[in-house]
Amino acid sequence: MRIINQKPSRSLALFLGILPFIALVVTYAIASHYRRLDNPADKLLPSIEQMMATFYRFAFVPDRRSGDLLLWTDTLDSLLRLGAGIAIATLLALIIGIAIGFIPVVRSALAPFLASFSLIPPITVLPILFIIFGLGEVSKIALIVFGTAPIMMRSTAQAVMDIPREMIIKAETLGASVWQMLMRLVIPQTMPKLISAIRLALVPGWIFLISAEAIASTSGLGYRVFLVRRYLAMDVILPYVIWITLLAFLIDRLLLALSIRIFPWHHLEGESL
Amino acid sequence: MSAQDTLISAQNIEKYYDQVPVLERINIDVEKGAFCTIVGASGCGKSTFLRMLLSQELPTRGQILLDGEKLPDEPTADRGIVFQKYSVFPHLTVEGNLLLSQEFDAAPLTGKLFGNAKKAALDKVNETLDKIGLSAARDKFPSQLSGGMQQRLAIAQALLKEPKILLLDEPFGALDPGIRLDMHELLLALWQDLNMTIFMVTHDLNEAFKLGTRMLVFDKIRHDPHAPNAYGATITYDLNIASCTQSNSQDAEMYFAKAPNSTEET
């Protein structure tokens, strides 16, 4: 049988899925082992046990200076920033994106501006944000909004424009006002695509979060990673990177599950990644 | 036909797309209660005519009167529509689709009914569900239904709003022949029940003869070999099928036999 027609069984699929992860861990363990044979105090590739011990210390042993459980305070601070930024961006996408997609006058007024605005590299406005909002939380959240809202607004507007014209007309012939069409047709049909947009926006969202924290912050996952860089503390950095990845993965899966739960009709056809 | 019976009156309609005429010299009065089938070759403007009846498109010249008044410039509730595709809302269940027009009427702010108001609205929906045989599928989403069921739902949804005219744009074009026959029966029954006026664009000449009381044939009759786009199509036959004699129906059949690329694409 041709390879394109060979479908792996469930257990084989699971095994194949895990394989690259195992390969990575094994490769790391071997490399780390040989480096530490040469120099037991090697900092670059610490042993897995050492990383787990460090991770345990960050998660469950209060910090000597502040008395905080650093992993959790870092995680909470970062997620609050990311959540606030993404929430504001989502709200903007919902209001401005839908207005651009649904109302031609608004589209004419805002679409060209938005298209230009979204091309500004967000990180270049970080100094401006620092100057205007200071080094506090606002500028970090603003950077996330700046980096994610334009693309979310554009994809939401596109999602509205992708609603077949026939459906809008049908709603008109059923006596719907513009507001009712928004409430019963446009927003419901756009929501699952807005969730997809959030999932995609989280990728740059994390980048801008970590960048802002690396540059000016006193807490957060990005702050921690860049702080311990000075001491070549790979035993902190690597677990933090894995932790951040895990958080990003879980948030993504959560949003997908939410979408399937609330908008089952959207997921009836085809597989979704 | 007296003037009072005229529901739709198209007067000197012309339609141009970028200076290219698509339709010209369309003059027709259609009486209340007619089942008007519209046939013609692909690209001869029959769907354009239907879209103008819906105000989805506006005539370049001329005007269309509904009950003696000029049609509004946008689709309104007095004209119902069923398209070949995308006629029902994929995010609503069968029941939700049928509730929608009542909800638009009763809830200007939320567009949604709750509690007792919803129960009352559901009574009307239940009756319709029985009539179109979709009671068992009431909680399904449209994509879980067959094509025929989706179109039945679309027709019922449009009719619940009780429009003055029902417009059908090749509603059965994508259905199997057997399903089509069922749909014909349903549509004829509803038409007789509700005393509706129907315009239906179709590719299928048999369908047009079987369902219609009146058949409009659209075709390009004027040709300029040096400027193929110089003239648009118009209504070349206006057959009263209800009193259709053998000869003029044969006329029409022969007419279509001569034009191999017209109609009968099924």
CA–CA distance, B55 with B53 (Å, rounded to integer): 6
Cβ-Cβ contacts under 8 Å, B86 against chain A: 164, 166-167, 170
Q: What is the mean pLDDT of residues B59-79?
A: 91
The pLDDT tens digits for A206-219 are: 999 999 999 988 89
Q: Is pLDDT of A96 > 90?
A: yes
A268 to chain B: closest CA residue? B143
The answer to whether B56 and A168 are in contact (CB under 8 A) is: no
Tell which residue, A59, A58, A10, has the closest CA to residue A227: A58
B96 to chain A: closest CA residue? A184
A270 to chain B: closest CA residue? B143
pLDDT at residue number B1: 47
What percentage of chain B reaches a pLDDT higher than 70? 89
Q: What is the mean pLDDT of residues B20-31?
A: 88
pLDDT at residue number B93: 93
Q: What is the mean pLDDT of residues B81-94?
A: 92
pLDDT at residue number B13: 87
The answer to whether B99 and B107 are in contact (CB under 8 A) is: no
Is B103 an interface residue toward A (CB < 8 Å)? yes
The pLDDT tens digits for B166-180 are: 999 999 988 888 888
User: Do you know the residue count of chain A?
Assistant: 273
> Helices A126-133 and A137-161 sit at what angle, rounded to 10 degrees?
130
Q: What is the pTM of this model?
A: 0.85
Q: In this complex, which of B90, B144, B161 lies closest to A173 when CB atoms are compared?
A: B161
CB atoms within 10 A of CB A155: 21
Lowest mean pLDDT among A111-125, A152-166, B12-26: B12-26
| Average confidence score pLDDT of chain A | 93
- Tell me if B143 and A265 make a contact (CB, 8 A cut-off): yes
CA–CA distance, A45 with A260 (Å, rounded to integer): 41
A165 to chain B: closest CA residue? B86
Q: In this complex, which of B92, B105, B141 lies closest to A175 when CB atoms are compared?
A: B105
pLDDT at residue number B45: 86
CA–CA distance, B3 with A13 (Å, rounded to integer): 73
pLDDT at residue number B232: 82
CA–CA distance, B175 with B183 (Å, rounded to integer): 9
Q: Is pLDDT of B3 > 70?
A: no
> Helices A137-161 and A187-215 sit at what angle, rounded to 10 degrees?
150
Q: Is pLDDT of A245 > 70?
A: yes
pLDDT at residue number B266: 36
* Helical H segments across A118-184, by residue range: 126-133, 137-161, 165-173, 178-181
Distances (CA, A) of A189 to A10, A164, B22: 33, 11, 35
Please list, in sequence order, all residues whose beta carbon lies within 8 angstroms of the beta carbon of residue B97, skipping any fewer than 6 positions away. B88, B89, B142, B153, B157
What is the token pair recorded at B199? 């315009």
B110 to chain A, closest Cα gap in Å: 7
Torsion angle of the four alpha carbons B28, B31, B33, B36, in this order, in degrees rounded to the nearest 10? -20
The complex scores an ipTM of 0.85
Q: What is the mean pLDDT of residues A58-64?
A: 91
The answer to whether B35 and B214 are in contact (CB under 8 A) is: yes
Q: What is the 3-state secondary structure (H, E, C) of A67-104?
A: CCCHHHHHHHHHHHHHHHHHHHHHHHHHHHHHHHHHCH
- Tell me if A189 and B91 make a contact (CB, 8 A cut-off): yes
Q: In this complex, which of A179, A180, A265 lies closest to B90 when CB atoms are compared?
A: A265
CA–CA distance, B55 with A41 (Å, rounded to integer): 80
Q: Is pLDDT of A271 > 80?
A: no
Among B54, B89, B125, B157, the residue to mutate for chain A (most A Cβ within 10 A) = B89
| Average confidence score pLDDT of chain B | 85
The pLDDT tens digits for B206-263 are: 889 889 899 999 888 887 888 777 788 888 888 887 655 444 555 556 555 554 444 4
